[in-house]
A and B are shown apart, each in its own frame.
Chain A
Amino acid sequence: MVVVSASKSPVVAAESLTKKYKDFAAVDGISFEIAQGESFGFLGPNGAGKSTTMRMVGAVSTRTSGSLSVVGLDPNNYGPEIRSQLGVVPQADNLDTELKVRDNLIVYGRYFGLSRSYLGPKADELLEFAQLKEKAKERIDDLSGGMKRRLTIARALINDPRILLLDEPTTGLDPQARHILWDRLFRLKEQGTTLILTTHYMDEAEQLCDRLVVIDKGKIMAEGSPAALIRKYSTREVLELRFGSEHNAAAAKKVEGLGERIEVLPDRVLIYSDNGEATLQKVTETGLNPITSLVRRSSLEDVFLRLTGRSLIE
């Protein structure tokens, strides 16, 4: 028997977790474990099964088969107990538009059986954290998209959750709002909150996740830290060439053998190589003249492309 050190015991453990809608498997036998304090991500395109997985972990959706344990309990029997330990930020905001900003936090805290006298100061503290102190008395409809998300995160923290579940926390936000949000999440991570998040943005996954699984069509394709995944499934650098959409395929034939691997996308050709500049040199030596060329570092996007042959955002 393996002796598991205390710091490594999983707060979430799933084995062959499956969710079927009629005959369609939205989540198709995935296994993973998440340790206390870890920041764990599900990276995958739309329809991969991320939200479905989050709902099962969040103990609001009954699994079809497999096993699942959250804080050591089975969601089938201990839904309310598990949910008392979670903070949930759903993909679509469901703040109560009939209540003011601060009341949203207090009312939500009541669902956990917390007293009003405790919740008053707690709500103020969380509004401060979410940088929404001045908005306490505003109506929900008067908040921007980024503010609503921050308020939803504040709401999810009202019960000091052991685990924070975030389903596509920054989808639909502008870059500035995303960065504010990432900063807040980073703080939580530093304080030791276990973060479980889904995203289809590779930069978000790289920024926030200690470890992630790449998920596609309900299945886990790969697992590891962002850096390890890039190391394993891609080269250090990528050379991006554009020859004009008509000529990309023909040009790709000519550069075959340069670099470790070639991907032909509708708008560009990607050559994977550890030294992009050197490869570009070789490309010019073949007599080809790309319209534009760019050398960049490999990202999780390249990992996904390698694993599935498709890009993350379609």
Chain B
Amino acid sequence: MSELAASTTETPDLESAKAKALAAGVKPRKYGGWYVAEHRLLSMRTYLQTMVATGVGTPLLYLYAMGVGLATLVDADQGQGLDKVSYLVFVAPALICSAALTTATEEFSYPIMLGFKWNPTFFGMNSAPLEGGQIINGVTYSVLFRLVAQSIVYYLFMLLFGAIPSPLGWLSIFAAVATGTALGTMLMAYASRLEEDKGQFNYIMRFGVIPLTLFSGTFFPLTALPVWLHWIGWISPLWHGTELSRVFAYGYSEPIWLTVTHVVYLVALTAIGWWLARRIAVRRLNK
């Protein structure tokens, strides 16, 4: 036995096995992340109806309730609406971001818990040629796909409601997607670490995301809050996304450095969360 191990000459059939392996590794190494995304999108089909219903229903309901219903009160009271525009125009760029945030919160948490724990398909992917980083990439691609699709639909409804005065309005799609990924990839990193689900995500939703939505300048400007609460906005991806979205949608005026800060903050959070999630996934799969 040890004689075999010590012999360095490899036999022809082992050489050919090796060559075959090296060739078969090329495609998975290159496209592995896309295979995972393809799988995730196929899984999303199981809740396609829910996805379409929320994708269409949410903008319709929110834009109508806030932008038309509540707006009659706000606009009458303020004369000019908020921020010198009608309440509809003020609130719509925030709503598109908040919808993206809600979707991202779901898509970056449950599928991750599912894949590592409840129905550990990630271990199956890893037994095939895929690597931990590719699995995280694939999940991220698929969520990006859904976020973009959903935000485009939202944007079209905003147009329909007459909520987009600026020609740059379509860029609020970018603001919305970045809002989703900024918080979402962080959640993905957290979910990748989570060994047990004791309802942490419900907590995050109820005591994290919903308060964020209330205090991130969504329904009223951050400046309406006492100064000692402004920090919530400053750390909140939703506030940065919303402000950015307003700049695009109706030319909300703020210093250019602040606009750049929004973009940098959202992109940086996305990148850090993504990178962390990849590291954690690789470590978790390698038992």
**Which residues of A are at the interface with B, using a C-beta cutoff of 8 A?**
1-2, 4-11, 13, 15, 31-33, 36, 55, 58, 60-62, 67, 71-73, 78-86, 88, 90, 92, 94-99, 103, 107-108, 110-113, 159, 162
Contact = CB atoms under 8 A, between A and B. Distances in A.
Interface in B18-35: 18, 20-22, 24-29, 31-32, 35
B126 to A, nearest CB: 5
Contacts of B18: 71-73
Given A1-B9, A61-B286, A112-B129, A98 B17 contact: no
A107 B39 contact: yes
B230 to A, nearest CB: 43
A220 to B, nearest CB: 11
Interface string B112-134: 00000001110111111111000
A166 to B, nearest CB: 12
B191 to A, nearest CB: 17
Contacts of A36: 13, 17
Per CB-CB distance, the 8 closest pairs between chain A and chain B, nearest first, are: A113-B27, A81-B25, A84-B24, A111-B128, A72-B18, A80-B129, A9-B11, A88-B127
A145 B11 CA distance: 41
B125 A111 contact: yes
Given A107-B39, A110-B39, A111-B32, A33 B20 contact: no
Contact of A94 (B3, B6, B25, B123): B123
A55 B119 contact: no
8 contacts: A1-B9, A2-B7, A4-B4, A10-B14, A60-B287, A72-B14, A83-B129, A111-B35
Contact of B12 (A6, A62, A95, A110): A6
Interface residues of B, number: 49
A88 to B, nearest CB: 4
A71 B14 contact: yes
Contact of A97 (B38, B119, B123): B119
Contacts of A80: 25, 28-29, 32, 129-131
Contact of A84 (B6, B12, B43, B129): B129
A80 B119 CA distance: 22
Contacts of A111: 28, 32, 35-36, 125, 128-130
Contacts of A67: 5
Nearest to A2: B3
B1 interface: yes
A10 B46 contact: no
Interface in B79-131: 119-121, 123-131
A94 B125 CA distance: 10
Contact of B127 (A60, A96, A113): A60
Max count, chain A CB within 10 A of own CB: residue among B29, B39, B120: B39
Given A61-B286, A90-B124, A31 B2 contact: yes
Interface string B247-283: 0000000000000000000000000000000000000
Nearest to B119: A97
